[in-house]
Amino acid sequence: MTAQQPHPSHPLTALDIPCQGLLFDNDGVLVDSDHGVDQAWSQWARDRDLPPEQVTAMVHGRRSADTVALLVTDPKERGAALAAIDRLEVEAAATTTALPGAREFLTSLPYDRWAVVTSGVTALARARLAAAGLPTPPVLITADDVSHGKPAPDGYRTAADNLGFAPARTVVFEDSTAGAKAGAAAGATVIGVGQRGLATDATFVVRDLRSLTWHDGVLSLAAADLLRF
């Protein structure tokens, strides 16, 4: 897909991107779960005599199973360690809130046009979406549904397939480097979200989802809310 660029003699007021499906990362794009993530992973780290600051710095955009595999050297202990962090994160999910514009944008979309692709397990994803008061996605792809997490493209390819669109006809919204790489590897157009999005390779970065509209196969981004284009 190619964004419709403005003529040089006209100031940019909006950027239009043709697309049929919209694929959203959850944490950092639709919901703010930072407090719960920090709380859960800090407790998990302390329980294992690991430095909480180092652990919390490495978890964003990764499946908990992948983080546990990096930090727990004994394979026999990984199952219990993974179950522990998954439980702690679900318990902390009540602190999750919706990010600006997420509820309004999602409810404006036709139900068969969007999906959520997250590195969290299914129970955690559903708990965070519910706590934030966001609608249940028609397609939800979680860590439980893929063999390889982000930056592998598996999740986004699966979501596009479930919606019935080729990945090249979709847009991925991401705020992590691993997630942006996953979307690009799947063949989608990637839009970064927020300050974290600026650290990704996404060509376009929006402040948040407040100014976005989608109608008849065209996603419009207001120029005033573009951080990079």
Catalytic residue among 27, 32, 66, 175: 27
Cα–Cα distance between 33 and 26 in angstroms, integer? Answer: 9
For position 12, what pLDDT does the model report? 73
Q: Residue 4 has what pLDDT?
A: 54
Q: State how far the Cα of 112 lies from the Cα of 109, in Å rounded to an integer.
A: 8
Euclidean distance between CA atoms 82 and 79, whole angstroms: 5
Concatenated DSSP letters for the chain?
A: ---BPPPTTS---EEEEE-SEEEE-SBTTTEE-HHHHHHHHHHHHHHTT--HHHHHHT-TTS-HHHHHHHH---HHHHHHHHHHHHHHHHHHGGG-EEPTTHHHHHHHS-TTSEEEE-SS-HHHHHHHHHHTTPPPPSEEE-GGG-SS-TTSSHHHHHHHHHHT--GGGEEEEE-SHHHHHHHHHHT-EEEEEHHHHTTS--SEEES-STT-EEETTEEEEEGGGEEE-
Report the alpha-carbon distance of residue 149 to residue 20 in Å, rounded: 24
Which residue in the list 16, 25, 66, 161 is annotated as catalytic? Answer: 25
Active site residue 161: no
Is 145 one of the catalytic residues? no
Per-residue pLDDT tens digits of the chain, which is 229 residues long: 556 555 454 567 889 999 999 999 999 999 999 999 999 999 999 999 999 999 999 988 788 999 999 999 999 999 999 999 999 999 999 999 999 999 999 999 999 999 999 999 999 999 999 999 999 999 999 999 999 999 999 999 999 999 999 999 999 999 999 999 999 999 999 999 999 999 999 989 999 999 899 999 999 999 989 999 8
In the chain, the N- to C-terminal Cα span, in Å, equals 15
Q: Which amino acid is at 120?
A: G
The CATH class given to the 14-33+96-228 domain equals: alpha beta
Q: Kindly list the domain boundaries of the chain, sorted by start residue.
A: 14-33+96-228, 34-94
Q: Report yes or no: 185 and 153 within 8 Å, Cβ to Cβ.
A: yes
Structural tokens at position 99: 């990010």
pLDDT for position 81: 96
- pLDDT for the residue 139: 98
pTM: 0.88
